[in-house]
Chain A
Amino acid sequence: GDSVTQMEGPVTLSEEAFLTINCTYTATGYPSLFWYVQYPGEGLQLLLKATKADDKGSNKGFEATYRKETTSFHLEKGSVQVSDSAVYFCAPSSSGGSYIPTFGRGTSLIVHP
């Protein structure tokens, strides 16, 4: 079945630092790739997505590029803010039959002033 490997957290950064959260996956066929974010006390919400190779998903200053050759979908942001503190989940879909996302363990990001 599908699997996801995310870098372990917590990732602790100062405000305005550069962020990278690595994500690699194994999936059957040609999955779509998603990053979800969970802010403290809130539910999961979609951050960005990419549906084909070399696509770049972006939202709120975050970016991730679908790299089929390396099966990776690393999340980046050039300058993090305290409000970005949250848990980030990488989630590829399966490509056979119904959509069944596989979530990684999540990476906790802590940004301090």
Chain B
Amino acid sequence: EAGVAQSPRYKIIEKRQSVAFWCNPISGHATLYWYQQILGQGPKLLIQFQNNGVVDDSQLPKDRFSAERLKGVDSTLKIQPAKLEDSAVYLCASSFRSGGLQETQYFGPGTRLLVL
């Protein structure tokens, strides 16, 4: 079974530029998550989708971050414009059903972003 795919793996941009990350979850997984992991910290949930609907985006900085999952499969996370403090690893994860308490999340390898 193929795992969660993410691209690019690495990205270096200058502040105020825009960047987009792509995620393809495990086939058949209804729920998709985007996390931000700053160096030395645990992952922090940015947004959770179930199929193509947003379940939770309370921690997404909506003035600069946006995400979509139009067809309920792959997803794109965008930052526009980027700030220095956005330097982090952006992780995508998916789970099979509705994201219930016992659901296991499967993580992609992440995209490492450096903002200069």
What's the tally of chain A residues with a CB closer than 8 Å to chain B? 25
Chain B residues near A14: list those with CB within 8 A: none
CB interface residues, B 57-116, toward A, < 8 Å: 91, 93, 95, 98-110
Main secondary structure of the interface of B (DSSP, over half): loop
Establish whether residues B43 and A98, one from each chain, have CB atoms under 8 Å apart when the complex forms. Answer: no
Cβ of A89 under 8 Å from chain B? yes
A91 to B79, CA, bound (A): 27
Contacts between the two chains (Cβ within 8 Å), count: 59
Main secondary structure of the interface of A (DSSP, over half): loop
Besides A46-B104, A46-B106, A106-B41, 20 more A-B contacts (Cβ < 8 Å) are A34-B104, A36-B107, A42-B109, A43-B107, A43-B108, A44-B91, A44-B93, A44-B107, A45-B106, A45-B107, A46-B105, A49-B102, A49-B104, A89-B43, A91-B42, A98-B98, A99-B101, A101-B105, A103-B44, A105-B40
List residues of B whose CB falls within 8 A of some A CB.
3-4, 40-45, 48, 50, 55-56, 91, 93, 95, 98-110
